[in-house]
A and B are shown apart, each in its own frame.
Chain A
Amino acid sequence: MKKDETFMPKILAFLCNWCSYAGADLAGTSRSQYPSSILPIRVMCSSRVDPLLILRAFLNGADGVLVAGCHPGDCHYQEGNYYTRRRFMMLKKVIEGCGLESDRLRLSWVSASEGSKYARVATEFTKKIKELGENSAKNEIFL
Protein backbone atom coordinates (compact mmCIF):
# COMPACT_ATOMS: atom_id res chain seq x y z
CA MET A 1 0.00 0.00 0.00
CA LYS A 2 1.18 3.41 -1.00
CA LYS A 3 1.34 6.10 1.66
CA ASP A 4 2.77 9.15 -0.01
CA GLU A 5 1.90 12.79 0.44
CA THR A 6 0.66 13.23 -3.10
CA PHE A 7 -1.89 10.42 -2.85
CA MET A 8 -5.33 11.82 -3.49
CA PRO A 9 -7.95 9.15 -2.81
CA LYS A 10 -11.01 8.49 -4.90
CA ILE A 11 -14.06 8.43 -2.70
CA LEU A 12 -17.43 7.50 -4.07
CA ALA A 13 -20.22 9.34 -2.29
CA PHE A 14 -23.83 8.19 -2.55
CA LEU A 15 -25.86 11.24 -1.55
CA CYS A 16 -29.59 11.19 -1.01
CA ASN A 17 -31.49 13.61 -3.16
CA TRP A 18 -33.45 15.29 -0.40
CA CYS A 19 -30.91 15.98 2.32
CA SER A 20 -27.29 15.15 1.65
CA TYR A 21 -27.15 16.20 -1.99
CA ALA A 22 -28.71 19.51 -1.04
CA GLY A 23 -26.23 19.68 1.86
CA ALA A 24 -23.37 19.18 -0.59
CA ASP A 25 -24.87 21.86 -2.78
CA LEU A 26 -25.01 24.22 0.17
CA ALA A 27 -21.38 23.46 0.96
CA GLY A 28 -20.62 24.61 -2.59
CA THR A 29 -22.72 27.77 -2.57
CA SER A 30 -21.36 28.65 0.87
CA ARG A 31 -17.88 28.24 -0.58
CA SER A 32 -16.85 25.76 2.10
CA GLN A 33 -13.54 24.15 1.31
CA TYR A 34 -13.26 20.39 1.07
CA PRO A 35 -10.97 18.01 -0.84
CA SER A 36 -11.63 17.14 -4.43
CA SER A 37 -11.44 13.46 -3.61
CA ILE A 38 -15.21 13.07 -3.44
CA LEU A 39 -17.13 11.82 -6.46
CA PRO A 40 -20.81 12.39 -5.71
CA ILE A 41 -23.57 10.17 -7.06
CA ARG A 42 -27.09 11.35 -6.44
CA VAL A 43 -29.61 8.70 -5.40
CA MET A 44 -33.23 9.24 -4.45
CA CYS A 45 -32.75 7.75 -0.99
CA SER A 46 -29.83 6.34 0.96
CA SER A 47 -31.79 3.09 1.13
CA ARG A 48 -31.54 2.94 -2.65
CA VAL A 49 -27.90 2.08 -2.22
CA ASP A 50 -27.79 -1.67 -2.70
CA PRO A 51 -24.92 -3.16 -0.65
CA LEU A 52 -23.77 -4.69 -3.93
CA LEU A 53 -23.13 -1.21 -5.34
CA ILE A 54 -20.81 -0.53 -2.43
CA LEU A 55 -19.03 -3.86 -2.86
CA ARG A 56 -18.64 -3.25 -6.56
CA ALA A 57 -17.23 0.21 -5.99
CA PHE A 58 -14.84 -1.23 -3.44
CA LEU A 59 -13.64 -4.03 -5.70
CA ASN A 60 -13.34 -1.66 -8.62
CA GLY A 61 -10.79 0.27 -6.64
CA ALA A 62 -12.68 3.09 -4.92
CA ASP A 63 -10.48 4.04 -1.96
CA GLY A 64 -13.51 4.87 0.11
CA VAL A 65 -17.29 4.77 -0.12
CA LEU A 66 -19.47 7.31 1.65
CA VAL A 67 -23.20 6.88 2.01
CA ALA A 68 -25.02 9.95 3.23
CA GLY A 69 -28.69 10.47 3.91
CA CYS A 70 -31.21 12.39 5.96
CA HIS A 71 -30.97 12.27 9.73
CA PRO A 72 -32.98 9.43 11.32
CA GLY A 73 -36.57 10.57 11.56
CA ASP A 74 -36.17 13.04 8.70
CA CYS A 75 -36.30 10.66 5.75
CA HIS A 76 -38.28 12.00 2.83
CA TYR A 77 -39.79 8.52 2.52
CA GLN A 78 -40.35 8.26 6.30
CA GLU A 79 -38.18 5.24 7.04
CA GLY A 80 -35.64 4.61 4.26
CA ASN A 81 -32.61 5.64 6.27
CA TYR A 82 -33.51 3.27 9.13
CA TYR A 83 -33.13 0.40 6.69
CA THR A 84 -29.94 1.90 5.35
CA ARG A 85 -28.51 1.92 8.84
CA ARG A 86 -29.19 -1.77 9.42
CA ARG A 87 -27.91 -2.73 6.00
CA PHE A 88 -24.78 -0.71 6.54
CA MET A 89 -24.14 -2.48 9.85
CA MET A 90 -24.55 -5.77 8.03
CA LEU A 91 -22.23 -4.83 5.20
CA LYS A 92 -19.54 -3.66 7.60
CA LYS A 93 -19.63 -7.09 9.23
CA VAL A 94 -19.28 -8.79 5.85
CA ILE A 95 -16.27 -6.64 5.01
CA GLU A 96 -14.71 -7.09 8.45
CA GLY A 97 -15.46 -10.82 8.52
CA CYS A 98 -13.58 -11.24 5.25
CA GLY A 99 -10.55 -9.46 6.69
CA LEU A 100 -10.99 -6.33 4.57
CA GLU A 101 -10.86 -2.74 5.80
CA SER A 102 -14.32 -1.69 6.89
CA ASP A 103 -12.94 1.77 7.69
CA ARG A 104 -13.15 2.48 4.00
CA LEU A 105 -16.91 2.62 4.34
CA ARG A 106 -18.68 5.45 6.05
CA LEU A 107 -22.26 6.35 6.76
CA SER A 108 -23.16 9.92 7.63
CA TRP A 109 -26.33 11.86 8.17
CA VAL A 110 -26.18 15.25 6.44
CA SER A 111 -29.25 17.43 6.24
CA ALA A 112 -29.97 20.02 3.57
CA SER A 113 -28.91 22.79 5.93
CA GLU A 114 -25.64 21.16 6.96
CA GLY A 115 -23.29 22.38 4.25
CA SER A 116 -20.53 22.80 6.77
CA LYS A 117 -21.07 19.31 8.15
CA TYR A 118 -20.81 17.90 4.64
CA ALA A 119 -17.51 19.72 4.15
CA ARG A 120 -16.29 18.43 7.52
CA VAL A 121 -17.30 14.82 6.73
CA ALA A 122 -15.60 15.01 3.34
CA THR A 123 -12.41 16.41 4.86
CA GLU A 124 -12.30 13.94 7.75
CA PHE A 125 -13.05 10.93 5.61
CA THR A 126 -10.44 11.92 3.03
CA LYS A 127 -7.89 12.26 5.81
CA LYS A 128 -8.78 8.82 7.13
CA ILE A 129 -8.51 7.23 3.69
CA LYS A 130 -5.18 8.95 3.12
CA GLU A 131 -3.95 7.25 6.27
CA LEU A 132 -5.22 3.89 5.02
CA GLY A 133 -3.55 4.40 1.66
CA GLU A 134 -4.56 3.17 -1.73
CA ASN A 135 -7.16 0.42 -2.07
CA SER A 136 -5.22 -2.61 -3.24
CA ALA A 137 -8.20 -3.83 -5.26
CA LYS A 138 -7.41 -1.10 -7.79
CA ASN A 139 -4.65 -3.03 -9.49
CA GLU A 140 -5.76 -6.51 -8.59
CA ILE A 141 -6.18 -8.90 -11.46
CA PHE A 142 -7.64 -11.94 -9.72
CA LEU A 143 -11.02 -10.64 -8.76
Chain B
Amino acid sequence: MTKALKLTKNTEQGVREFVKFLLEKGNVKGVFTLKKINQKGSVAYSLITTSDELNDAVPFYPLMPTNAGTLLSRFTLNGSTTEPIVAIVKPCELRAFIELIKREQGSLENIYIISSTCGGVYPLKIVAEETIEKNLSQYWDAVKKGEMNENLRPACTGCTEFTPYTADITVDLIGHNNLDKECVLILNTKKGEELAKEMKGEFLERELDKETLKKFYDKRDAAKKKLFNEINTKMKGLDGLIEIFGRCIGCHGCSTVCPICYCKLCEFDSSDSEYKPSTYESELKRRGGLKVPPGTIYYHLGRLAHMGISCVGCGSCEDVCPVDIPLSIIFKKVGESIQQIFEYIPGKNIEEKIPLLTYEEEEFTEIEE
Protein backbone atom coordinates (compact mmCIF):
# COMPACT_ATOMS: atom_id res chain seq x y z
CA MET B 1 0.00 0.00 0.00
CA THR B 2 1.08 3.52 -0.71
CA LYS B 3 0.52 6.57 1.42
CA ALA B 4 -2.23 8.87 0.26
CA LEU B 5 -3.80 12.15 1.19
CA LYS B 6 -7.54 12.60 1.12
CA LEU B 7 -9.06 16.04 0.93
CA THR B 8 -12.80 16.59 1.33
CA LYS B 9 -13.18 18.84 -1.69
CA ASN B 10 -13.96 18.10 -5.28
CA THR B 11 -10.90 16.79 -7.01
CA GLU B 12 -10.01 19.83 -9.08
CA GLN B 13 -10.65 22.16 -6.16
CA GLY B 14 -8.61 19.90 -3.90
CA VAL B 15 -5.58 19.89 -6.14
CA ARG B 16 -5.87 23.65 -6.57
CA GLU B 17 -5.91 24.12 -2.79
CA PHE B 18 -2.99 21.74 -2.46
CA VAL B 19 -0.74 23.63 -4.89
CA LYS B 20 -1.84 26.94 -3.37
CA PHE B 21 -0.76 25.59 -0.01
CA LEU B 22 2.61 24.55 -1.48
CA LEU B 23 3.14 28.04 -2.89
CA GLU B 24 2.13 29.82 0.29
CA LYS B 25 4.27 27.51 2.42
CA GLY B 26 7.19 28.12 0.12
CA ASN B 27 7.68 24.40 -0.57
CA VAL B 28 7.63 25.30 -4.24
CA LYS B 29 8.14 28.64 -5.90
CA GLY B 30 6.14 27.95 -9.02
CA VAL B 31 3.21 25.91 -10.25
CA PHE B 32 3.02 24.64 -13.80
CA THR B 33 -0.55 23.92 -14.77
CA LEU B 34 -3.33 24.51 -17.24
CA LYS B 35 -5.10 27.81 -16.66
CA LYS B 36 -8.26 29.22 -18.14
CA ILE B 37 -7.91 32.10 -20.56
CA ASN B 38 -11.64 32.69 -20.82
CA GLN B 39 -14.88 30.98 -19.90
CA LYS B 40 -15.40 29.51 -23.37
CA GLY B 41 -12.89 26.71 -23.06
CA SER B 42 -9.59 28.33 -23.95
CA VAL B 43 -6.81 27.10 -21.71
CA ALA B 44 -3.04 27.42 -21.75
CA TYR B 45 -0.19 25.98 -19.78
CA SER B 46 1.12 28.59 -17.41
CA LEU B 47 3.88 28.88 -14.86
CA ILE B 48 2.40 30.59 -11.84
CA THR B 49 4.13 32.04 -8.80
CA THR B 50 1.32 33.80 -6.89
CA SER B 51 -1.52 31.86 -5.37
CA ASP B 52 -4.24 34.31 -6.52
CA GLU B 53 -3.41 33.44 -10.09
CA LEU B 54 -4.25 29.83 -9.31
CA ASN B 55 -7.96 30.55 -8.85
CA ASP B 56 -8.72 29.70 -12.45
CA ALA B 57 -6.18 26.92 -12.77
CA VAL B 58 -7.80 23.85 -14.29
CA PRO B 59 -5.19 21.12 -13.80
CA PHE B 60 -7.16 18.27 -15.35
CA TYR B 61 -8.90 20.08 -18.17
CA PRO B 62 -9.35 17.64 -21.07
CA LEU B 63 -7.21 19.60 -23.51
CA MET B 64 -3.54 19.54 -24.40
CA PRO B 65 -2.59 22.86 -26.01
CA THR B 66 1.05 21.76 -26.22
CA ASN B 67 2.61 18.58 -24.94
CA ALA B 68 3.83 19.69 -21.51
CA GLY B 69 6.90 17.48 -21.88
CA THR B 70 8.25 19.95 -24.43
CA LEU B 71 7.46 22.90 -22.17
CA LEU B 72 9.08 21.39 -19.08
CA SER B 73 12.17 20.67 -21.12
CA ARG B 74 12.32 24.39 -21.97
CA PHE B 75 12.62 25.34 -18.29
CA THR B 76 15.21 22.74 -17.48
CA LEU B 77 17.37 22.72 -20.58
CA ASN B 78 20.37 24.09 -18.70
CA GLY B 79 20.04 21.67 -15.80
CA SER B 80 17.58 22.16 -12.97
CA THR B 81 15.37 25.17 -12.37
CA THR B 82 16.78 27.57 -9.78
CA GLU B 83 13.69 27.24 -7.60
CA PRO B 84 11.54 24.15 -6.99
CA ILE B 85 8.36 23.94 -9.06
CA VAL B 86 5.44 21.58 -9.11
CA ALA B 87 4.08 20.51 -12.49
CA ILE B 88 0.66 19.02 -13.09
CA VAL B 89 0.79 17.03 -16.29
CA LYS B 90 -0.88 14.16 -18.10
CA PRO B 91 0.76 10.72 -18.16
CA CYS B 92 1.85 10.93 -21.81
CA GLU B 93 3.30 14.38 -21.20
CA LEU B 94 5.29 13.01 -18.30
CA ARG B 95 6.55 10.16 -20.46
CA ALA B 96 7.51 12.61 -23.19
CA PHE B 97 9.44 14.66 -20.63
CA ILE B 98 11.31 11.58 -19.44
CA GLU B 99 12.19 10.72 -23.04
CA LEU B 100 13.50 14.27 -23.51
CA ILE B 101 15.58 13.99 -20.35
CA LYS B 102 17.11 10.81 -21.75
CA ARG B 103 18.10 12.93 -24.73
CA GLU B 104 19.67 15.49 -22.41
CA GLN B 105 16.94 18.01 -23.07
CA GLY B 106 15.82 18.56 -19.51
CA SER B 107 16.10 17.61 -15.89
CA LEU B 108 13.79 16.29 -13.19
CA GLU B 109 15.75 17.93 -10.42
CA ASN B 110 13.78 20.55 -8.49
CA ILE B 111 10.56 19.49 -10.19
CA TYR B 112 7.72 17.75 -8.41
CA ILE B 113 5.40 15.93 -10.75
CA ILE B 114 1.70 15.57 -10.12
CA SER B 115 -0.11 13.45 -12.63
CA SER B 116 -3.35 11.49 -12.76
CA THR B 117 -5.02 8.58 -14.39
CA CYS B 118 -6.10 10.23 -17.60
CA GLY B 119 -9.43 10.07 -19.36
CA GLY B 120 -8.05 11.58 -22.54
CA VAL B 121 -8.31 14.98 -24.18
CA TYR B 122 -10.41 16.53 -26.91
CA PRO B 123 -8.97 17.65 -30.23
CA LEU B 124 -7.91 21.30 -30.12
CA LYS B 125 -10.40 22.40 -32.73
CA ILE B 126 -13.06 22.11 -30.04
CA VAL B 127 -11.60 25.35 -28.62
CA ALA B 128 -12.47 27.25 -31.76
CA GLU B 129 -15.92 25.70 -31.78
CA GLU B 130 -16.38 26.81 -28.14
CA THR B 131 -18.33 23.66 -27.33
CA ILE B 132 -16.03 22.08 -24.76
CA GLU B 133 -17.68 23.62 -21.67
CA LYS B 134 -20.94 21.94 -22.64
CA ASN B 135 -19.17 18.59 -22.83
CA LEU B 136 -17.42 18.83 -19.50
CA SER B 137 -20.09 17.44 -17.19
CA GLN B 138 -20.58 14.51 -19.52
CA TYR B 139 -16.82 14.01 -19.72
CA TRP B 140 -16.37 13.88 -15.95
CA ASP B 141 -19.39 11.65 -15.57
CA ALA B 142 -17.81 9.10 -17.86
CA VAL B 143 -14.43 9.39 -16.13
CA LYS B 144 -16.09 8.82 -12.77
CA LYS B 145 -17.77 5.68 -14.00
CA GLY B 146 -14.62 4.45 -15.70
CA GLU B 147 -16.21 4.69 -19.12
CA MET B 148 -14.78 5.93 -22.37
CA ASN B 149 -15.66 9.33 -23.72
CA GLU B 150 -16.53 9.94 -27.32
CA ASN B 151 -14.97 12.38 -29.77
CA LEU B 152 -11.62 12.47 -28.00
CA ARG B 153 -8.33 12.61 -29.86
CA PRO B 154 -8.06 9.27 -31.69
CA ALA B 155 -4.74 8.74 -29.92
CA CYS B 156 -6.56 9.08 -26.59
CA THR B 157 -9.39 6.77 -27.62
CA GLY B 158 -6.82 4.06 -28.25
CA CYS B 159 -4.50 4.91 -25.34
CA THR B 160 -3.68 2.11 -22.94
CA GLU B 161 -0.97 4.03 -21.05
CA PHE B 162 -3.32 6.20 -19.02
CA THR B 163 -1.62 5.62 -15.66
CA PRO B 164 1.51 7.64 -14.91
CA TYR B 165 4.66 5.67 -14.18
CA THR B 166 6.96 8.10 -12.44
CA ALA B 167 4.78 10.81 -10.92
CA ASP B 168 5.56 11.88 -7.35
CA ILE B 169 1.86 12.23 -6.75
CA THR B 170 -0.91 10.52 -8.69
CA VAL B 171 -4.44 11.85 -8.55
CA ASP B 172 -7.09 9.17 -8.74
CA LEU B 173 -9.53 10.12 -11.50
CA ILE B 174 -10.65 7.14 -13.59
CA GLY B 175 -13.41 5.19 -11.93
CA HIS B 176 -13.23 7.33 -8.79
CA ASN B 177 -16.88 7.71 -7.84
CA ASN B 178 -16.57 10.62 -5.47
CA LEU B 179 -14.68 12.98 -7.74
CA ASP B 180 -16.95 15.89 -6.82
CA LYS B 181 -16.78 15.22 -3.10
CA GLU B 182 -13.25 14.16 -2.41
CA CYS B 183 -9.76 14.36 -3.79
CA VAL B 184 -7.31 11.50 -3.38
CA LEU B 185 -3.64 12.20 -3.90
CA ILE B 186 -1.53 9.06 -3.94
CA LEU B 187 1.98 9.81 -2.74
CA ASN B 188 4.15 7.51 -4.79
CA THR B 189 7.59 8.77 -3.85
CA LYS B 190 9.44 10.11 -0.83
CA LYS B 191 9.51 13.45 -2.61
CA GLY B 192 5.73 13.35 -2.86
CA GLU B 193 5.25 12.38 0.77
CA GLU B 194 7.58 15.13 1.89
CA LEU B 195 5.63 17.64 -0.13
CA ALA B 196 2.23 16.71 1.28
CA LYS B 197 3.45 16.31 4.86
CA GLU B 198 2.03 19.47 6.34
CA MET B 199 -1.13 19.67 4.28
CA LYS B 200 -4.35 19.48 6.29
CA GLY B 201 -6.27 16.39 5.32
CA GLU B 202 -6.71 12.75 6.05
CA PHE B 203 -3.65 10.58 5.53
CA LEU B 204 -4.38 7.00 4.65
CA GLU B 205 -3.07 3.99 2.78
CA ARG B 206 -4.45 3.78 -0.70
CA GLU B 207 -3.64 2.51 -4.16
CA LEU B 208 -5.32 2.96 -7.48
CA ASP B 209 -8.08 0.42 -7.87
CA LYS B 210 -6.54 -2.20 -10.13
CA GLU B 211 -9.81 -3.82 -11.06
CA THR B 212 -11.42 -0.61 -12.26
CA LEU B 213 -8.34 0.29 -14.24
CA LYS B 214 -8.17 -3.17 -15.78
CA LYS B 215 -11.74 -2.83 -16.98
CA PHE B 216 -10.93 0.57 -18.42
CA TYR B 217 -7.78 -0.83 -20.00
CA ASP B 218 -9.78 -3.54 -21.74
CA LYS B 219 -12.14 -0.98 -23.25
CA ARG B 220 -9.27 1.16 -24.44
CA ASP B 221 -7.39 -1.85 -25.74
CA ALA B 222 -10.38 -2.96 -27.81
CA ALA B 223 -10.68 0.56 -29.22
CA LYS B 224 -6.97 0.59 -30.02
CA LYS B 225 -7.15 -2.72 -31.85
CA LYS B 226 -10.06 -1.42 -33.88
CA LEU B 227 -8.17 1.74 -34.84
CA PHE B 228 -5.05 -0.27 -35.73
CA ASN B 229 -7.04 -2.66 -37.88
CA GLU B 230 -8.66 0.19 -39.73
CA ILE B 231 -5.32 1.76 -40.54
CA ASN B 232 -3.80 -1.61 -41.44
CA THR B 233 -6.32 -2.11 -44.21
CA LYS B 234 -5.28 1.23 -45.68
CA MET B 235 -1.52 0.89 -45.32
CA LYS B 236 -0.96 -1.60 -48.09
CA GLY B 237 2.09 -1.00 -50.19
CA LEU B 238 3.27 2.20 -51.77
CA ASP B 239 -0.14 2.92 -53.25
CA GLY B 240 -1.66 2.77 -49.79
CA LEU B 241 0.94 5.18 -48.45
CA ILE B 242 0.33 7.59 -51.30
CA GLU B 243 -3.38 7.38 -50.61
CA ILE B 244 -2.78 8.31 -46.95
CA PHE B 245 0.09 10.77 -47.18
CA GLY B 246 -0.56 12.13 -50.67
CA ARG B 247 -2.58 15.03 -49.32
CA CYS B 248 0.22 16.14 -46.97
CA ILE B 249 1.02 19.78 -47.69
CA GLY B 250 4.50 19.52 -46.18
CA CYS B 251 3.95 22.08 -43.40
CA HIS B 252 5.95 19.92 -40.97
CA GLY B 253 3.53 20.94 -38.23
CA CYS B 254 3.51 17.36 -36.96
CA SER B 255 7.18 17.44 -36.18
CA THR B 256 6.98 20.97 -34.77
CA VAL B 257 4.50 19.89 -32.10
CA CYS B 258 5.99 16.43 -31.56
CA PRO B 259 7.54 16.35 -28.08
CA ILE B 260 10.14 13.82 -29.18
CA CYS B 261 11.26 15.83 -32.23
CA TYR B 262 13.56 18.16 -30.35
CA CYS B 263 16.19 18.88 -33.04
CA LYS B 264 16.70 22.58 -33.59
CA LEU B 265 17.36 21.95 -37.24
CA CYS B 266 15.34 19.05 -38.51
CA GLU B 267 16.98 16.90 -41.17
CA PHE B 268 13.90 17.42 -43.29
CA ASP B 269 14.09 21.21 -43.06
CA SER B 270 17.79 21.23 -43.80
CA SER B 271 19.38 21.79 -47.16
CA ASP B 272 20.22 18.08 -47.25
CA SER B 273 16.58 17.30 -47.90
CA GLU B 274 16.05 20.20 -50.26
CA TYR B 275 15.49 19.53 -53.92
CA LYS B 276 17.82 21.59 -56.05
CA PRO B 277 16.91 22.47 -59.64
CA SER B 278 19.34 19.79 -60.82
CA THR B 279 17.64 17.21 -58.58
CA TYR B 280 14.28 18.05 -60.12
CA GLU B 281 15.79 17.63 -63.55
CA SER B 282 17.32 14.24 -62.89
CA GLU B 283 14.24 13.00 -61.05
CA LEU B 284 11.99 14.10 -63.89
CA LYS B 285 14.15 12.36 -66.45
CA ARG B 286 13.80 9.12 -64.54
CA ARG B 287 10.23 9.26 -63.38
CA GLY B 288 8.53 11.32 -66.04
CA GLY B 289 6.81 13.49 -63.45
CA LEU B 290 7.04 14.53 -59.83
CA LYS B 291 4.69 15.73 -57.15
CA VAL B 292 5.74 19.17 -55.91
CA PRO B 293 6.85 19.68 -53.20
CA PRO B 294 8.39 16.21 -53.30
CA GLY B 295 9.61 13.99 -50.50
CA THR B 296 6.33 13.52 -48.62
CA ILE B 297 6.58 9.77 -48.07
CA TYR B 298 10.29 10.07 -47.32
CA TYR B 299 9.51 12.66 -44.66
CA HIS B 300 6.94 10.55 -42.85
CA LEU B 301 8.89 7.29 -43.09
CA GLY B 302 12.01 9.13 -41.99
CA ARG B 303 10.24 10.63 -39.02
CA LEU B 304 8.96 7.20 -38.05
CA ALA B 305 12.52 5.93 -38.13
CA HIS B 306 13.76 8.89 -36.10
CA MET B 307 11.24 9.12 -33.29
CA GLY B 308 9.09 5.99 -33.52
CA ILE B 309 11.13 4.32 -30.80
CA SER B 310 10.10 7.04 -28.34
CA CYS B 311 6.60 7.92 -29.59
CA VAL B 312 4.43 8.36 -26.49
CA GLY B 313 1.24 8.48 -28.54
CA CYS B 314 0.04 11.87 -27.31
CA GLY B 315 -1.69 12.61 -30.60
CA SER B 316 -0.47 16.19 -30.96
CA CYS B 317 0.68 15.49 -34.52
CA GLU B 318 -2.74 14.52 -35.77
CA ASP B 319 -4.33 17.40 -33.92
CA VAL B 320 -2.40 20.01 -35.86
CA CYS B 321 -2.55 18.31 -39.24
CA PRO B 322 -4.44 20.68 -41.54
CA VAL B 323 -5.45 17.85 -43.88
CA ASP B 324 -6.42 15.32 -41.19
CA ILE B 325 -3.94 12.56 -41.95
CA PRO B 326 -4.46 9.86 -39.27
CA LEU B 327 -0.89 10.42 -38.08
CA SER B 328 -1.31 9.59 -34.43
CA ILE B 329 -2.64 6.11 -35.11
CA ILE B 330 0.03 5.40 -37.73
CA PHE B 331 2.81 6.60 -35.43
CA LYS B 332 1.37 4.80 -32.45
CA LYS B 333 1.01 1.57 -34.38
CA VAL B 334 4.43 1.59 -36.01
CA GLY B 335 6.00 3.08 -32.88
CA GLU B 336 4.62 0.34 -30.68
CA SER B 337 5.78 -2.34 -33.11
CA ILE B 338 9.31 -0.96 -32.84
CA GLN B 339 9.10 -0.55 -29.07
CA GLN B 340 7.91 -4.13 -28.71
CA ILE B 341 11.06 -5.62 -30.22
CA PHE B 342 13.06 -3.98 -27.48
CA GLU B 343 10.34 -4.41 -24.84
CA TYR B 344 10.51 -0.70 -24.32
CA ILE B 345 7.81 1.62 -23.06
CA PRO B 346 8.94 5.17 -23.72
CA GLY B 347 9.11 7.28 -20.61
CA LYS B 348 8.40 4.43 -18.23
CA ASN B 349 11.76 4.31 -16.56
CA ILE B 350 14.31 7.09 -16.58
CA GLU B 351 17.17 4.66 -15.94
CA GLU B 352 16.39 2.60 -19.00
CA LYS B 353 18.45 3.61 -22.03
CA ILE B 354 16.88 4.42 -25.38
CA PRO B 355 17.16 1.04 -27.14
CA LEU B 356 18.91 2.44 -30.21
CA LEU B 357 21.67 3.90 -28.05
CA THR B 358 22.60 0.64 -26.41
CA TYR B 359 22.95 -3.03 -27.33
CA GLU B 360 23.41 -6.56 -26.10
CA GLU B 361 26.14 -8.64 -27.65
CA GLU B 362 23.96 -11.71 -28.08
CA GLU B 363 20.65 -10.68 -29.61
CA PHE B 364 18.68 -10.65 -32.85
CA THR B 365 21.01 -13.21 -34.39
CA GLU B 366 18.15 -14.14 -36.72
CA ILE B 367 18.34 -10.82 -38.54
CA GLU B 368 21.38 -11.85 -40.54
CA GLU B 369 20.04 -14.08 -43.26
Contacts and interface: CB of A to CB of B under 8 A. Distances in A.
Interface of A: 51-52, 55-56, 59, 61, 72-73, 79, 82-83, 85-100, 106-109, 124, 136-143
B287 A139 contact: yes
Nearest to B304: A94
Given A61-B286, A94-B304, A98-B334, A143 B291 contact: yes
Given A99-B235, A136-B237, A141 B289 contact: yes
Nearest to B355: A86
Contacts, number: 117
Interface of B: 232, 235-242, 246, 267, 286-291, 294-298, 301-302, 304-305, 308-309, 330, 333-334, 337-338, 341-342, 355-357, 359-361, 363-364, 367-369
Contacts of A83: 356-357, 359
State the 9 A-B residue pairs at the shortest beta-carbon distance, nearest first: A97-B334, A82-B359, A141-B289, A99-B235, A51-B305, A142-B291, A99-B236, A93-B338, A94-B304
Given A52-B267, A86-B364, A93 B334 contact: yes
A13 to B, nearest CB: 14
A86 B368 contact: no
A70 to B, nearest CB: 12
A136 B239 CA distance: 9
12 contacts: A83-B359, A85-B364, A86-B356, A94-B301, A98-B334, A99-B240, A100-B238, A100-B241, A141-B289, A141-B291, A142-B291, A143-B294
A136 B238 contact: yes
Given A56-B298, A136-B238, A137-B238, A94 B334 contact: yes
